[in-house]
């Protein structure tokens, strides 16, 4: 969901602010908003796909440009056949894009597994990251997952441009390092922050009373506990977390959903919420390094020898950190004359196609 939701939200922005008609193609998912029209396509065999004629699309639709996730890079072949300008959309941040592009060099120059490196890797804008904090797909060179991952990454430079869910005031150094690198990359357009503007669920009744309770609290006084779209904790860790939160004396909201794909609630950026970087899966280790050590807007709790973050450590990191300046620049980037709106206009200006 951390790829699909930003892509859908970006598509809505393109339709709203640039007048594009947008079609999104992805596997079946639940919870789509009621105002999204969808069509279910019948299954087809891979052999049939090879024999298909993409050019027939132009007979009924004026296609401008395909914008796609980097891990469906096979669309490049279709774009080439249709003589269209393809764009990648990175739904996370410029730091991850920096790592992906840097992997093209590392894959050819590092003689051993990344996890066996004695020193942290130095990324383009001078941040150092330990191999154990890299994303899971690059941890094992011999795995099929790594080979598929690198195959997609090698296609990034073939795009007309790369749009990233970030903004200049947040990751200006990273974007500048990519633009000034001796290896020539496609133009990079920071079009974020792109966040979920609505939910597919009906919370109007607020049966639990959470929203009413929040409305009665002072601004910036509540800690929100969330573990991403698929995070789960052991019983022991849940127990330590609950006791640690209680010991901190900080008011908190910890809402558990039956649906593991529940996303962060609307307004998380507006409130300038402080962060504790808790590591579970996917890109969270890299994000923790970036938030805690580079942007300095998060605290990273340390696990004990059993792999648990104990209650004392939790109570220690549950402190208020300043993030209001990031909230302000994020809102400015999203405004009508903000840097992200200008970047998306530049990417889709008529002479780009």
User: What are the catalytic residues?
Assistant: 3, 69
* Angstrom distances, CA of residue 207 to CA of 197, 213, 331: 22, 12, 31
β-pairing verdict for 128-129 and 121-122: antiparallel
Phi, then psi, of 282 in degrees rounded to 5:
55, -125
90 touches 112 (CB < 8 A): no
Cis peptide before 193 (omega within 30 of 0): yes
DSSP 8-state class, residue 132: G
Q: State the greatest distance between any 2 C-alpha atoms of the chain, in Å, as a whole number.
A: 65
Phi, then psi, of 121 in degrees rounded to 5:
-80, 145
Distance CA 79, CA 73 (A): 10
Nearest by Cα to 347 from 206, 234, 232, 187? 187
Phi, then psi, of 189 in degrees rounded to 5:
-120, 110
* Angstrom distances, CA of residue 329 to CA of 63, 216, 296, 318, 325: 34, 27, 16, 25, 6
Nearest by Cα to 182 from 85, 109, 105, 119? 105
Q: Which two tokens stand for residue 55?
A: 């050019």
Distance CA 121, CA 186 (A): 24
């Amino acid at each position: 969901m951390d790829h699909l939701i930003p892509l859908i939200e970006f598509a809505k922005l393109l339709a709203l602010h640039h007048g594009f008609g947008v079609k999104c193609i992805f596997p079946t998912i639940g919870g789509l908003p009621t105002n999204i029209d969808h069509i279910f396509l019948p299954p087809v065999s891979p052999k049939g796909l090879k024999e298909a004629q993409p050019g027939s699309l132009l007979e009924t639709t004026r296609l401008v440009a395909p914008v796609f996730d980097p891990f469906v890079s096979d669309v490049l072949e279709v774009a080439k056949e249709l003589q269209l300008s393809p764009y990648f959309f990175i739904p996370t941040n410029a730091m991850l894009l920096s790592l992906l592009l840097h992997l093209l060099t590392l894959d050819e120059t590092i003689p051993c597994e990344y996890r066996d490196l004695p020193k942290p890797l130095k990324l383009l804008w001078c941040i150092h990251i330990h191999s154990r904090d890299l994303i899971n797909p690059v941890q094992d060179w011999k795995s099929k997952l790594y080979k598929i991952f690198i195959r997609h990454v090698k296609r990034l430079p073939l795009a007309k441009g790369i749009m990233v869910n970030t903004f200049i005031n947040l990751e200006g150094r990273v974007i500048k390092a990519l633009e000034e690198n001796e290896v020539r990359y496609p133009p990079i357009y920071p079009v974020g922050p792109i966040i979920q503007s609505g939910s597919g669920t009906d919370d109007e009744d607020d049966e639990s009373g959470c929203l009413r309770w929040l409305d009665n609290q002072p601004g910036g006084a509540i800690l929100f506990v969330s573990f991403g779209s698929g995070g789960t904790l052991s019983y022991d860790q849940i127990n330590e977390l609950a006791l640690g939160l209680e010991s901190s004396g900080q008011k908190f909201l910890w809402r558990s959903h039956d649906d593991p794909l529940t996303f962060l609630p609307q307004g998380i950026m507006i409130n300038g919420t402080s962060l504790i970087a808790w590591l579970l899966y996917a890109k969270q280790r890299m994000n923790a390094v970036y938030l805690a050590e580079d942007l300095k807007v998060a605290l990273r709790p340390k696990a004990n020898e059993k792999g648990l973050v104990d209650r004392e450590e939790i109570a220690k990191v549950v402190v208020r950190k300043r993030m209001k300046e990031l909230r302000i620049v994020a809102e400015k980037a999203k405004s009508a004359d903000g840097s992200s709106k200008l970047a998306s206009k530049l990417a889709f200006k008529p002479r780009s196609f």
